[in-house]
Amino acid sequence: MKHLVGKVIKKKVPFMGDEVEIRKLSVAEVMDVQKMVNKATKAKGDDAQLGLLRDVIRLATIGAEEITDADFNTFPIAELNDLSTAILGFSGLGDEETGN
């Protein structure tokens, strides 16, 4: 089992009529996401929820760490929500099936 430490599990998911590659979050990253959710829940306004979406997507989507907030604002919110749901489901959070 030791040889699997740090192994990254990825899969492709649909996004904006194309595909992006996401990776399963580690236990530490899941804990960070839970902290982000708590912070966003306490904050007022839509900016906190959008910030949470951006943070989750940047954390788990290959290549998304380079996307600016302004770039994120060009995507449809429904597409970002679907991608975030896919990430959380793939990582064992939320209601989505993992469906490896």
pLDDT tens figures, 64-87: 999 999 999 999 999 999 999 999
Say what the pLDDT of residue 96 is.
Answer: 47
Say what the pLDDT of residue 98 is.
Answer: 42
User: CA-to-CA distance for 54 and 97, rounded, in angstroms?
Assistant: 22
CA-CA distances (angstroms) from residue 33 to 4, 5, 14, 81, 92?
A: 23, 20, 22, 15, 12
Give the chain's residues under pLDDT 50: 96-100
Say what the pLDDT of residue 16 is.
Answer: 96
